[in-house]
Amino acid sequence: MSDISSTSTTTTGMTGAGGGSMIRITGMASGLDVDAIVKKMLVAEQNKIDKAKQDQQTIQWKQEAYQDIIKDIKDLQNTYFNSLDSANNILSSSNYAGFDSSVADSTVLSVTPGVSSQTGTYKVDFTDGHLAATASVSTTDKVSSSSGDASLSSTMKDLGMSGSTGTFDITYNGTTKTITVNSTDKLSDVINNISNATSGAVMASFSQLTGKFTIQTANTGSAQNITVSNDSGSSLTALGITTGSSGTGEDAVVKITPPGGIAVTVTKSTNNFTIDGITYNLQSAQGADEGKSTTFTITQNTQKVYDKINDFLDKYNAIVDKIQTKLSEKKSYDYPPLTDAQRSSMSASQITDWETKAKTGILRNDENLQSLLTSMRSAFTTAVSNTGLSFGKYGSNSIGLDTSSDITEGGKITIVDEQKFKAAIAEHGDQILKLFTNISDSTDKTTKFNESGIFQRLSSIFVDNVGYTGTTLNSAILTKYANYQGDYSIYGSSGTNTLPDQLYRQTLLIKKLNSDFSDKQEKYYQQFSALETALTQMNAQQSMLSQYGM
């Protein structure tokens, strides 16, 4: 007669107790619902697992909430603190010039008004002037190759270089560099070699249309000079340049008449320069080269500066509002994270509703975010040294910006007096620029903060918390806490308690609790299996005794 208990001792799963995929055949002799009994005996262990998983879920939600705030700050950084995007960079001086400009003849020049520009109509006259030019030497005759017209792919041998290797010297502004040329070098190779040898201070170019090869300084102005000499291997001859050739640069010369003033002859080493807050870009393609004259008009437009700062504040305040909301949300203890058993009995919409409530208050009174918000408020409310202007609503030197009077808004910044702010932009452009963008060179932390402009302070605060624009650094306060795992130890005892470290410890804990659960579960089934075996044997003995009438 087979022992029915042997079936239960060879399986490792159970039904009714939540583990495994094997089927146990139990209670045949005792009539007991062993699965239900074991399940009840393991309630304490299951509760430990559920609690560990709930804690893990809470940490994951906290991490997601952190990452959401980090993303918003990074978006603000990338939009308003990107040095490669001067049109939107809130630290760029060009965004604080409350002026528009219009040029009558754009072939002569373009202009960009700055914060200290004077409104009115200006005249720019090139009748007796000229543009700034580089120092250069070039071919005396059209460069040609043995096969016809020369090109950048022509070799120096094709161009008539006699030796296999040659050299020539370039002397520019007191510096001499020797250029080595091989007969197998292409014309494009020679151009690159000249630029590399002089670290870009001298450039070369070739026009296939004109056949002209030119060597010139990168910079313009009368201080620039260049000479080529010491030709060997006929390398210069192949390029069509006479050894000993030299050239001198020229300054730009132009007459500018300011509004209501007299013409002033201006001499500059470049075609791009700034005078009285106005940046001039003299055009070289035509216009100025042809000795033309033109006018341009500067008109005041404080609205674009106002709009730029107002748009920034809108996005800034949205972040402040999100952080303040997270810090002040009350935790709903009636809605802990769902257990697996609870989740299996709910619909998708019920789960969503429950988890929305469960996530409430997940970042309440978070120290990192509280510190960030305090720093952001301080960036505005701490006076900027030596600007002559003050943040706030009241006082003759105030600019009409202030923190919200509602303390529950976490220090949002609002334009409380639009006219006062626009007047400050129009009348104190230089001071407004300094108030928001001043850069301090102090090494003392407190002094540096006090001397830095408001938006410079914010930029530093954001870097400290989420990293530099366009990057996410794990060393920054928020990104490290949310994303950096430093604990990979067996027991989860190292690391710096970042959220990934906490998740790692929970993973280890859940693994251990599941192992303990399985061990106890197996222990209890083995005990009931032994009971079944004993009862089976007892029943067999009773049956035998009854056959003998005993």
Task: Encode pLDDT of 73-132 as tens digits.
Answer: 999 999 999 998 988 999 999 899 999 999 999 888 999 999 989 999 999 998 888 999
- C-beta separation of 244 from 234 below 8 A: no
Instruction: Identify the pLDDT of residue 24.
Output: 59
Count Cβ atoms within 10 A of the Cβ of residue 199 and give its class: 0-12 exposed, 13-18 middle, 19 or more buried.
exposed
Neighbours of 319 (CB within 10 A): 20
What is the Cα 546 distance to its own chain's centre? 88
The tokens describing 28, both together, are: 């045949």
Q: How many CB atoms lie within 10 A of CB 507?
A: 13
Distance, CA of 475 to chain centre: 14
Give residue for tokens 């040095």.
Answer: 83
Query: What is the model's pTM?
Result: 0.79
Distance CA 254, CA 265 (A): 6
Low-confidence ranges of the chain (pLDDT < 70): 1-31, 284-289, 549-550
Contact 286, 107 (CB under 8 A): yes
pLDDT at 29: 55
pLDDT attached to residue 7: 36
Q: What is the separation, in whole angstroms, between the first and last Cα of the chain?
A: 21
pLDDT at 546: 77
